[in-house]
Structure 1
């Protein structure tokens, strides 16, 4: 099985780094139906933990990070740095379905298991 790990650091809005990372992650995750031997994992750190906040409302015609992240969460794994969540006041109850609090230990394990690591 090929494992691709994405590590996101930037906020959901204000820059397009998280948006671009999710564009690629969604494309890879969607192809899992065709290539089930591929696994996509996302680890959200720093301001990127806010990507997993449920209930995002954006202007019409604007991309929605929550919607994009949900597509990845349905087919892969999404974990958030717990320390980063705490620093931003983000509670577990505020996370969208399919996303969960994690640790640097798990990130280290995922990194060791990954065939490819992409950092945004």
Structure 2
């Protein structure tokens, strides 16, 4: 009970709030933006990629809470992209991961071509 009261009584001591909801970005949008930027620039940190995602969506890059939220969304998207070999994690610098372009090329649209045998 006291912990709940503390949350509302001392707003300056509250933890950072995460404000990007589940459906704020389209599925695969963060990954697509990150892969495109990694194709142009060889190496980027997670924060740099998040700032580029925010710039493309016309979001306020100077908003720390929003940027942190996009960074966490970006980490999640990049980890999934790493499994699909779209990106690779090169190293960790000062607690921040450095990412590079991956080796895989994927096609999102698949043509449904009817069989000519028959």
**TM-score (norm: length of structure 1):** 0.30
Could you say which structure has the higher strand fraction? 1
**TM-score (norm: length of structure 2):** 0.31
